[in-house]
């Protein structure tokens, strides 16, 4: 019997799967994203398909994809394909979406149909977190620079300063969505498939070398 700590067999099925809730700490920021978006009236904010159609194939609720975008903005996940991958492997995102994994085309189409509304929600979320101190320790990345979430001296902002701050946030969100558009255009399906095929080939060669 091995004297080392052993991991789980990757192919072994479990009778009682672990709960996603057990993997997310009570103070994890994704809980704030979840509570914020669940409290929004999405149809009033201009989101398309906020009410399910009575006929046709069911789609994803806009809140599910919107949570992906807010998470992606805060963590700089800069393409629809990467957002799709995060939904399938990142426990925080699995918790946020209820383990739903929209494909990259669905994610990109959601941005195309709701770009202005997404921008508004992301900006509102960041500013709300600033106001109530939820980002007082962390800071929000805006184009590679770090802007402290709270004014540590006196928290007393002038109207002009608040206006400049909101403009910075709005511009940051717009640039993020533009980066997503650019990245999506640069990731054709054929190229992704070729990379996967090359990776499998390299893994096969690696195993041959190691076995020889």
Q: Dump the DSSP string for 131-173.
A: HHTTTSSSEEEETTEEEESS-TTT----HHHHHHHHHHHHHHH
Would you place residue 114 in the very low, low, confident or very high pLDDT band (cuts 50, 70, 90)?
very high
If one counts every other C-beta atom within 10 angstroms of the C-beta of residue 161, the result is 11
Half-sphere exposure of 114 (CA within 13 A, CB side): 25
What are the helix (H) ranges across the chain?
30-38, 62-75, 80-89, 91-97, 104-132, 159-185, 189-211
pLDDT digits 0-9 by tens, 8-44: 676 777 665 678 888 888 888 889 899 999 999 998 8
Percent of the chain with pLDDT over 70: 75
In this predicted structure, the answer to whether residue 7 has a pLDDT above a threshold of 90 is no
pLDDT tens for 130-158 read 777 775 434 444 444 344 444 444 445 56
CA distance 170 to 119: 7
- In this structure, are residues 87 and 101 in contact, taking their beta carbons and an 8 Å threshold? yes
Q: Which of 83, 71, 85, 6 is nearest to 34 (CA)?
A: 71
The three-class DSSP label of residue 92 is: helix
pTM of this structure = 0.71
CA distance 48 to 41: 12
> How far apart are the C-alpha atoms of 156 and 206, rounded to whole Å?
60
């Amino acid at each position: 019997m091995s004297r080392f700590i052993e991991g789980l067999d990757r192919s072994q099925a479990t009778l009682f799967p672990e709960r996603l809730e057990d993997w997310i700490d009570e103070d994890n920021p994704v809980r704030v994203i979840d509570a914020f978006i669940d409290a929004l009236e999405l149809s009033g904010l201009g989101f398309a398909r906020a009410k399910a159609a009575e006929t046709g194939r069911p789609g994803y609720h806009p809140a599910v994809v919107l949570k992906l975008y807010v998470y992606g903005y805060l963590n700089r996940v800069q393409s629809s394909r990467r957002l799709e991958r995060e939904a399938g492997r990142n426990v925080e995102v699995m918790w946020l979406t209820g383990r739903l994994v929209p494909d990259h085309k669905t994610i990109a189409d959601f941005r195309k149909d709701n770009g202005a509304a997404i921008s508004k929600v992301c900006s509102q979320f960041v500013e709300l977190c600033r106001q109530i101190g939820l980002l007082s320790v962390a800071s929000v990345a805006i184009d590679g620079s770090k802007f402290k979430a709270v004014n540590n001296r006196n928290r007393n902002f002038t109207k002009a300063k608040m206006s400049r701050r909101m403009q910075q946030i709005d511009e940051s969100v717009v640039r993020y969505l533009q980066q997503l558009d650019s990245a999506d255009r640069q990731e054709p399906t054929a190229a992704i498939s070729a990379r996967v095929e090359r990776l499998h080939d390299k893994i096969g060669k690696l195993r041959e070398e190691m076995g020889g």
